[in-house]
Every structure is written in C-alpha cells, then in structure tokens.
Structure 1
Amino acid sequence: MRKLLIFIWLSIFMQCQTQNIEESTFLQLNNKVEKFDVLTFQKLKKNNNYLIKTEDSTVKSFSYKNGFVEYFYPQNLYFNLGKNFHKNGIIKDKGISFNEGSAIGIWYHYNEEGKLIKKEDTDSGYLFKPRDVVKYCEKNNIGLSKGYHERDGYQTSVYKNELDGKKVWKISYLISLNKQEKEVKLTLDGQTGKVIKREEFPYDSY
C-alpha cells in the first residue's frame, strides 16, 4: 500500500513538474523593452527568413515593409510568443497567441523610442478563457497544433470573433467520415463555452 501511495505521489509530482516546466517556458513574457538584432538577421537570413530549430523549440524571424517579426514556438505547446519590431529594431508589441489563431492574454505596445504606451488585455470580455478552449478541444478530440509548422497542410485554428454583438470563439478543424474529409467550424459562446453553431463543409486538400 505504501509503495502504491509513493507511486501515485511521484506520478502527480512529475505531472506538476512537467506542467510547471511548460508553463515557465511558455510564460516568458514581461514589459521590458527589447531590440531586434538586425545585423545578425541580415547576415543569416535566407529568402527573408531566419529559422532556428532545437529539440525543444523553434524561433522564426522575418522582415516586412514596416519592420521585423519574431516568433518563439515551444515544441509541446499550443501557443507561441510573438514580437513585432519597428524599423529601427525597437520592440513594437509582444504577446502570446494560439499557434494557429488569435492573440491571448496581455499584449504590450511601444512607440519607436521604446516607451510602453499600452497594456492590452486581449481576453477582455471572455469569461471562457483560452485554457478553457484548450480543455474543450482536448475533451472533444480536436487536435490543436503544437509547436512550429511550415505553411503546408491543414492546421486546426482558434480565433476570437463577434456574433450579434457577443464575444465568441471560432474553432475550425478536420474530421474524416466514410473516407472523406470535412471541415468543421464551431462557434463557442465567449462567456459560457457552449456551442452556438456547428457547420460542416466538404474539404479537398488539392
């Protein structure tokens, strides 16, 4: 009996440790001013992209007309840490998003001198939080995208939206019925998480 209790305790401990490691990796977000390494990017970029892959994560950087973008994707999480930079390399805004979907939680916004000008709660108005969406998907066998993926193939997406003035979640994913794939579009109430609408559409990957 004692051995069984020790085994159960160790299992719970390891689960908590894993979760804490994932959370600490995921939640490395603060309001400090940051600067993009423009020189290194210009030196190492290929086709306007710079990709760094390890066993645990992927960092993707690229430039566009108004500045630079950097995404950090932990390999085993449904979320990424995104950072947008002004042309001068100073941070423009940063925060967390679903890997395929909307921004979540707190986002910080800065001017070109690096002054914090806005702290935005992107979950405002949602009582059914991002973690609740994750639990809903896991419970209903909806496969969310973990880590970094190239832009090929279908990935489940989760977006915030409004329907008749109400905050909602939009979840799009694939199912297979009778050897045919269909795209399912769910609309969840942003307050309760209840399904407001469910639609199915034929899906052709070609």
Structure 2
Amino acid sequence: MLNLDCSFERFDQKMDDESRIDVINQKEHIIYTSANVGFGEARYETDSYFMSIKNFNPSRNIENKGWAFIQGSPIGVWCFFDEVGTLVKKENMDEGYAFTPEDIIKYCKKNNIELSKGYHERDGYQTSVYKNELNGKKVWLLSYIISLNKQDKEIKLTLDGQTGKVIKREEFPYDSY
C-alpha cells in the first residue's frame, strides 16, 4: 500500500488568502490552496490512481493527511493532529473492507472500466470510486461512462465491500453537454 509518514509538518508555501498555486513537473501535479479555514496540498503522481492529501490549520500546522482515490474516497491509514501539530489519532479508512482499493483497481481493469491516473482538469467525466454503507454493510460505489451504439450511458455499480460482488447495477442516459 501507499506509504504514509505521520510526522509533524508545516505549510511553507507562500500564499495569499483564498488562492491556488499549481506546480507541475513530469512526475506529479501539486495543487496548493489557501482559504479562511487553512491551507491544503493535493499531490497527484502521474502514474497513480491515488492522490495524497494534506490539510493544514490557519497557523500552518498539519491538521490531517492521507491518501484517496483520484475522484473518490479516502483510503488506507490517515493521520490526525491537534492544533499544535501533535499526532492524536491514526484511522484506518479501509476498516471493514476486505475488498481492498487494489482489488477495486483489478476489478476495473478486468471489466474495462477506465480509472484516471494523475491529475486531470475537471473537463469531462471521470470514473469515481466512493465508500458507503448500505443496510449496515460496507460497499464500494463506482460510477463511470460507457458508449453503446453512439449513446453514452452512466453506469453506477454498488459492490459488496467484503467480496466485491455486484449488489446493484444502475444505468442512466448520459448527456455530456
């Protein structure tokens, strides 16, 4: 799984209030954000289905950090800190899910569901991967687009969080305009 260092960090990027800075190179796209509630860093590696997320409080001390699917839910262990940056909690976001994020990737490859790697502008539709609960069961929610006979359809799948079996499949007309 992805490595996570739960050590203290400070946000050192020079920024104005409510602004965004994009840093782009061949390996990654980093977005630094600033708002009234604090600062953020989203790091998209070019060849990964996951992004790292770090949130900082207004004093620029780390608030939380972890990994998430690009266009999706947090995964793996997340670290949470108090206002001065002391680690107060580690939370396993995959608890209760025997069907892992890696299994989701394998499922998508096997079923020709395109998952995004790296950063993409919000143009167009991207497959989303979210976690939820359905009748007390942990589930994965996949949403993606397919083209059939020159018509686009949005497919929404609910997969069992233990086995990966399809619990529900919904199909909707999709108009990209």
Which TM class, normalised by the smaller chain length? over 0.9
Secondary structure in 1 aligned to 2:15?
Answer: helix
- Residue in structure 1 matching 2:131, options 160, 166, 177: 160
The Cα of 1:63 is off from its aligned counterpart by: 1.4
Structure 2 gap segments, 5+ residues each: none
Secondary structure in 1 aligned to 2:44?
Answer: strand
Higher relative contact order (CA 8 A, sep 6+): 2
Work out the CA distance in 1 between the residues paired with 2:67 and 2:156.
23
Work out the CA distance in 2 between the residues paired with 1:186 and 1:165.
17
**How many residue pairs were aligned?**
177
1:29 aligns to 2:4 (yes or no): yes
Aligned counterpart, 2:175: 204
Secondary structure in 2 aligned to 1:162?
Answer: strand
Aligned counterpart, 1:131: 102
Greater helix content: 1
Aligned counterpart, 1:179: 150
Structure 1 gap segments, 5+ residues each: 1-22
The Cα of 1:37 is off from its aligned counterpart by: 1.3
TM-score (norm 2): 0.96
Secondary structure in 2 aligned to 1:134?
Answer: helix
Work out the CA distance in 2 between the residues paired with 1:102 and 1:145.
14
Greater strand content: 2
Q: Structure 2: which amino acid aligns with 1:165?
A: G
What root-mean-square deviation, in Å, do the aligned CA atoms of Structure 1 and Structure 2 show? 1.3
Aligned counterpart, 1:19: none
The Cα of 1:153 is off from its aligned counterpart by: 1.0
Q: Structure 2: which amino acid aligns with 1:117?
A: V
Percent identity for Structure 1 against Structure 2: 56
Aligned counterpart, 2:115: 144
TM-score (norm 1): 0.83
Secondary structure in 2 aligned to 1:41?
Answer: coil
Work out the CA distance in 1 between the residues paired with 2:86 and 2:169.
44
